[in-house]
Structure 1
């Protein structure tokens, strides 16, 4: 199957493949749409089973970035990079420098940033080979941490704001006593858990790696559950904060939560599942709306006249955007993801 016949191909402007025999780098960059500006999106490293799985991910993620930028009213397009490999075993400076040469070969059409499996130090190695990198320098932080360039604090704050607003809309309450199951205790998932805990939420957490789980249990009193159980719990909210497609034909029948609101990209294995959720009475916060805090962060880091407060206020508007989506979805008796898609497409279409 060629790229053009791939089910996730959506009139992408550019898809590039790269292989470096010296370092072993195998990577793909996809540029979806640049009507609003140059494409920007994180670089993800993951041990994909094969190149077909990686291609599916990069096509979906790059499209999501176009919609995400449009919903945040940013003058930029959507792109994404994926590296095939285990980030805990295969990365080194030369490896990331090779990735920098790949980014540079696209002459600024794609600007890379941090994503799963990639650190700020990795990006600094990339930046030795190309200037088309965001996230290596930071001035502001949404959660009051020392600015590092990692957009995770802003992503987590945006998801927190969106989740809180969704709970208010659906349950008519604040977060005290609300049961939230978080799938993934990485940079974003743990920060989200910390904010939810501060407002009295009851937490259940799962991850394939133990480090974040132990910390969540010790510091936040979270209940640790097996990864295969996290989506099936009798909770109020499920917050997917790991890899995509967790809401699929196999998992959906067992979901008992009233709300799905998390940080993961491409949470729905296919768009049609949004309508299934709507029919089941489950309110879904469209992923590219609720997790947009990261690219808002990157935008503000480039503004010398911004501030922690200005960035937080911009991110906080995620709650208002979600309310608009929920109200339109209810008025039209349709799925929230379809409403969000229409709004975004109106903004980036020419």
Structure 2
């Protein structure tokens, strides 16, 4: 991969790479855009097959974080950190503290939090070496578990789509098929079950499946979920699951879930539109986590404020649906337009010019 060419293609400002032979740490931080404020995004630890794959993931995810924060009305830019390694066998305090030192070299241009492969305890280790950490436990002055608000935001997005599709946002009796049942999905499922919806789920983790069963969720096989008749299909695992092959198998009216980068290509969003399937753009409805941590930056964390801002995802999703219909564009493009418009407006105010 030609790094500078890739950065220019997607509009990235900075890519920093780090190697620490003392701890085995190999990592990348991608900063996409700081128009609205410092970049913010989680640290992901994953056993990537190559450095090229890790860089591609960092670039893609940091871009999505720019759109996520901009669309949510936050004064944050988009960033993402990736550590190359298996979190089950290669994670250590020394590696995480080394990562914290790396984050600190950027002087606050990048604020980190949790992502796939990292957790709250890991943040505590990172925090030993840098103050540029958000999402710490509430006992340490942070906002705590981001998955709680993320799950609420996904639920609000689902309800907005239901109201548009069926004339009522009630989910009573509706069937939701969840592909992945991690922390975000389980919090979303709780809201759905409280509303007497029927939830079907799958996951590659036996622990996750056990939790699903304990909540009264029906469990099916990992591949079976795509063929499960449902009203709403909710991707809640890794990205790229909505693609030309999986779309052919879906029998739903709405696609709305917590996973990042659900569409394999832009064309897949247009294909959903053509088939009459409403797509809730992931960066719009899964913004509850970044909203939650944003409320602790420069001020004491206020959970009520975080909840109020997260619940506005309902209104934002409704606005995107209206724009999609009025402009005859996909909901994915309508959500991007919402973010791009805000970024352009702020650039004009600040006299920032980008090619």
Q: Same fold (TM over 0.5)?
A: yes
Partners of 2:340 and 2:160 lie apart in 1 by: 24
With the length of structure 1 as denominator, give the TM-score of the two structures.
0.93
Aligned residue number for residue 166 of structure 2: 171
Partner of 1:210: 206
CA contact (8 A) 1:29 1:82 kept: yes
Tell me the matched-pair count: 344
Is the aligned partner of 1:271 residue 2:242? Answer: no
Q: Among residues 311, 315, 319, which one is paired with 1:320 in the alignment?
A: 315
The structure whose residues are more often helix, as a share, is 2
User: Matched residues in 1 for 2:200 and 2:265: separation?
Assistant: 26
- Give the match's secondary structure for 1:5: helix
Alpha-carbon offset, residue 229 of structure 1 = 2.1
| 1:66 and 2:66 correspond | yes
Superposed CA deviations along residues 186-222 of structure 1, whole A, max 9, x for unmatched, are 1111111111111111111111111111111122x21
1:295 paired with 2:281, answer: no
Equivalent residue number for residue 37 of structure 1: 37
8 Å contact from structure 2 (residues 182, 208) kept in 1:
yes
Paired residue secondary structure (1:301): coil
Match of 1:25 in 2: 25
User: Is 1:286 aligned with 2:286?
Assistant: no
Out of 180, 184, 196, the position equivalent to 1:184 is 180
Distance in 2, matches of 1:243 and 1:166, equals 22
Partner of 1:102 in structure 2? Answer: 102
Partner of residue 144, structure 1: none
Counterpart mapping for 1:222-301 below 5 A: 222-301=217-296
CA distance in structure 1 between the partners assigned to 2:33 and 2:227 by the alignment: 36
**3-state DSSP of counterpart to 1:250:** helix
* Counterpart position of 1:307: 302
Q: What are structure 2's unaligned runs of at least 5 residues?
A: 348-355
Counterparts of 1:79-158 in structure 2 under 5 Å? 79-138=79-138, 149-158=144-153
Residue 195 of structure 1, aligned match among 191, 194, 197: 191
Query: CA offset at residue 310 of structure 1?
Result: 2.4
Q: Which runs of 4+ in 1 moved over 4 A?
A: 303-306
Report the more deviating stretch, 305-314 or 188-197: 305-314
Structure 1 residue runs of 5 or longer lacking an equivalent are 141-146
d(CA) in 1 for partners of 2:307, 2:295: 10
Q: Give, in whole Å, the separation in 2 of the partners of 1:95 and 1:112.
A: 15
Contact conserved, 2:38 with 2:109, CA < 8 A, in 1?
yes
Shift of 1:137: 4.1
Instruction: Tell me by how many angstroms 1:114 deviates.
Output: 0.9
Shift in Å at residue 156 of structure 1? 0.6
Cα distance between partner residues in 1 of 2:297 and 2:105:
23
Distance 1:303 1:98, change over 3 A: closer
Please say which of residues 306-315 and 20-29 is displaced more in the overlay: 306-315
Report the alpha carbon displacement of residue 106 of structure 1 after superposing the two structures with TM.
Answer: 1.5
Report the RMSD for the aligned CA atoms in angstroms: 2.0
- The structural deviation recorded for 1:7 is 9.1
Kindly indicate whether residue 30 of structure 2 is the aligned counterpart of residue 11 of structure 1: no
- Does the 8 Å CA contact 2:179/2:202 hold for their aligned counterparts? yes
Do the aligned partners of 2:143 and 2:296 also contact (CA within 8 Å) in 1?
no
Q: Deviations over 1:3-40 (max 9, x none)?
A: 13349940200011212222211211100000111101
Query: SS of the residue aligned with 1:272?
Result: helix
Distance (Å, rounded) in 2 between the aligned partners of 1:346 and 1:80:
22
